Each structure stands twice: as C-alpha cells, then as structure tokens.
Amino acid sequence: MSTGTGSLKSKLNLGWINLQDIGSAWTSTLAMTSPRWLKRMFINELPTAILRPTSDGLELVQEDGFQAIRPGSKEAARLSKGHKIDIALRPDQIFQRQRWLPLASSRRWRSTLDLDFQTNAPFSANEVVTDVFLVDIAPTTKRGLIKHGICKVETIRDAIAKCQQAGLTPSKIGVFDPDTSSVQYNFLPRSSFGQLSVQANWANLCLFGLILGLGLAGTTNYLSGLTARRAEVSALVLASKERALPILQQQEEAVNLVAQDEFLRSNFLDRRRFNNVYEALTQSLPDGTRLESLNYDPDRVRITGYTDNSDTIIASLESAQLINRAAFSAPLRRNTRFNSDHFQIEISLSNSVDEIQLTGLATR
C-alpha cells in the first residue's frame, strides 16, 4: 500500500513540475511578445539598476565607475521607488560550468545538472543555490549549450541582508556579464510562474481562461452548426435520391435498349448469319439437286444431298458471294434408285462482312 501511495505522489509531483514549466513558458512568452501598452496595464516597466555587494554595503554599477549606496540615503530611496534592483556578485563567488544538453525546459536542465554536480560535490545540496541559462543552440543536433551556476547560500543571504539594510528589494541575484551589460542567473527563489509579478500572473491566468472559454464556446458552436448542417445534407441527399430514382430507371431502360440494338445490329449486319447462308446455298444449287442435311458453322458449312448435275455443282456454289471455296469431302456415290449422285461438300464462307441495309431487312 505504501508503494502505491509513493508512486502516486511521484506522478503528482511530476505533473506539477510539468504544469509549472508550461506556466513559466506561457508567462515568459507573454512578457517578451506582449506590446508595451498591454504590459503597462499590468506591469510597471522600470529601469534596471545593477548593484554589487561589498564589505561595507552596496555599490551602484555605473558607466564611469561605482557609487556607494548608504542606508537611508536619497539615492537608496530613489532606486527603491523607481528601479528594478539586480545584484551582481563577483565571478569568483560563483562556480560555473557548461554542458551540451537536449533542448528542454530550464527546470529540466537545472535538475539534470544539479544531480550531476551533487553526486561529485563534497557538501550537501542545502548549502548551495543553482541556476541555468541557455547560451547557444546547435541547429544540426537540436542541443543547447547550457551554463550552470552554483553559489553558496551564505553568499546569497549576505547579499539579501545588505539590500534589506539599504531598504531595497532585489529582483535578481547573479553574476554581471560585461558583454551584455546584464546580470546572468538568478539565485533568488522564484514563483511558480516565472519572472512576472503576482498581478501579471493573475492577469495571464485570466487571459488564459478567457481564451480557453472562447475556444470551448467556439468549438461547441462549430459542432452544433456541423450537426445541423449534417442533418440538412442528409435531407438534401434523400430528396435528391427520390428525384433521381425515375431518371435512373429511365437510364437503365435506355441502356437495355442500346444493348438490344447492338445485339440486333451484330446479328442482322453480318451476312454470314444462318439465314443469309441458307438462302445463298439454296439459290446457288443447280436444278435437279436435293439437300439431305446441312451442318452450319459461322466459318464453315457441310452439306449432303443428291444431284443430277455433279459436274457443275461446285462452280455453282462458288459463284455465290458468301462462299469462298467449295469442295467434295467424299467421293460421289451413284444412287440408282433416284438415278442421281450422292454428294458430300464442305464449304468455306467468305471473311468479308458487308452491311445490309436495315430498310431492306424490314421489308422481308
């Protein structure tokens, strides 16, 4: 039972960390991309004053040198009311190192580098404060050069105490970078939603809720319209089917008529059909000839019978247009009963297919 509770607690912690990462990315994006007029509604953008701790107190970093800040002085009051205070520690007060890591959130980078550092450090993790920031990105490998800074808790406490003595509230404690003229890292405890004030966090949350509500309302409206449109389309489809049914039936009848017409044309336009062949044979046989049998094939015909003109029967048959060649397939046999010759003839039909006028067929 304890194992399940621990597993659930770990999952909840992981989910909370991911939620914090999303919130931090959201607010950071708004802070960087929001127009000035929108920022002024929620955040008072103040100029940044960089101070450095000394053995006697604090000094204001200026272009022409340093100015000591005394507790209760007019300069301290001016900075407290009209500036954002960044504390710049000396580089020798911070241990720094760099690593190439896959692109991720700053929280994940910090967790990874803290774990790697603490496994080799000779002191407890409670004695130091750490932070990370992205230096460069390798586009080919999708990895980032991450700078990891470690500072003693005592150093941070001393800087905070000196700020309190001067009546100042620091917004960042890190190390001064002369290339960018800004303070890198932030070793101060940060809120869950990053760099914006509480007022800006609530404004961002309200804005996020408004966008989410509008999105849900738009989605609901779209789905309702889609359902109504679907019903309209279904009704239109049903009505179209009812109107198209008679047309489809007429089309089917027309297709059947065309098929019948093609069948009739293929039969009546072919001169080698049986009726034409039979008519050509009977008209070509010489007088005194009687047919006994006729075996019809579209390319070949076999006939048997009796004739008194066996010498001219082949020439008479070959004179017909449909007949290409005629020949006896067996010797003639004399029939004394009928006083005629019994013949067996095989006939090859012509390959030419001449069309017959349908008007001529209609008159038959």
Which residue type sits at 268?
F
Instruction: Return mean pLDDT, the chain.
Output: 79
Cβ–Cβ < 8 Å for 186, 174: yes
Which of 127, 157, 190 is where one domain is finished?
190
308 strand-pairing partners: none
Mean pLDDT of 286-290: 88
Q: Which of 32-46, 106-120, 223-237 has the lowest mean pLDDT?
A: 32-46
Place of tokens 């990105």: 137
Query: Which are the contacts of 11, defined by CB distance < 8 A and separation ≥ 6?
Result: none
The CATH number of residue 177's host domain is 3.30.420.380
Using alpha carbons, select from 178, 191, 106 the residue that is nearest to residue 149. 106
- The predicted pLDDT at position 19 comes to 74
Write out pLDDT tens, residues 340-354: 899 999 998 886 544
- The predicted pLDDT at position 62 comes to 80
Place of tokens 């919130």: 23
Place of tokens 């701790």: 53
Does the pLDDT of residue 360 top 50, yes or no?
no
Which of 190, 225, 245 is where one domain is finished?
190
CA–CA gap between residue 285 and residue 290 (Å, rounded): 9
Token pair listed for 163: 């700020």
Which residue type sits at 191?
S
- The Cα-based distances of 47 to 43, 82, 85 in angstroms read 12, 7, 9
Q: Which domain holds residue 347?
A: 274-362
Does the pLDDT of residue 195 top 70, yes or no?
no
Which of 137, 157, 190 is where one domain is finished?
190
Mean pLDDT of 295-314: 88
Examine the domain organization and report whether 185 and 282 are in the same domain: no
Q: Report pTM.
A: 0.43
Examine the domain organization and report whether 49 and 183 are in the same domain: yes
DSSP states of 68-106: EE-TT-HHHHHHHHH-EEEEEE-GGGEEEEEEEEES--H
Three-state secondary-structure class, residue 305: strand
For 47, list phi and psi in degrees, rounded to 5.
Answer: -65, 155
Write out pLDDT tens, residues 140-175: 777 888 888 888 889 888 988 888 888 888 888 998
Token pair listed for 88: 């710049």
Query: 4: pLDDT confidence band, cut at 50, 70 and 90?
Result: low
First vs last Cα of the chain: how many Å apart?
A: 104
Examine the domain organization and report whether 296 and 156 are in the same domain: no
Does the pLDDT of residue 207 top 90, yes or no?
no
- The predicted pLDDT at position 363 comes to 40
51 strand-pairing partners: 60, 87
Query: 10: pLDDT confidence band, cut at 50, 70 and 90?
Result: low
Whether 227 is covered by a domain: the verdict is no
- The predicted pLDDT at position 328 comes to 92
Number of domains in the chain: 2
Mean pLDDT of 331-360: 73
CA–CA gap between residue 321 and residue 277 (Å, rounded): 10
- The predicted pLDDT at position 303 comes to 93
Mean pLDDT of 56-82: 83
CA–CA gap between residue 193 and residue 190 (Å, rounded): 8
The CATH number of residue 324's host domain is 3.30.1360.100
For 237, list phi and psi in degrees, rounded to 5.
Answer: -65, -45
Write out pLDDT tens, residues 15-65: 776 676 666 666 666 665 666 666 665 555 678 888 888 888 888 888 788
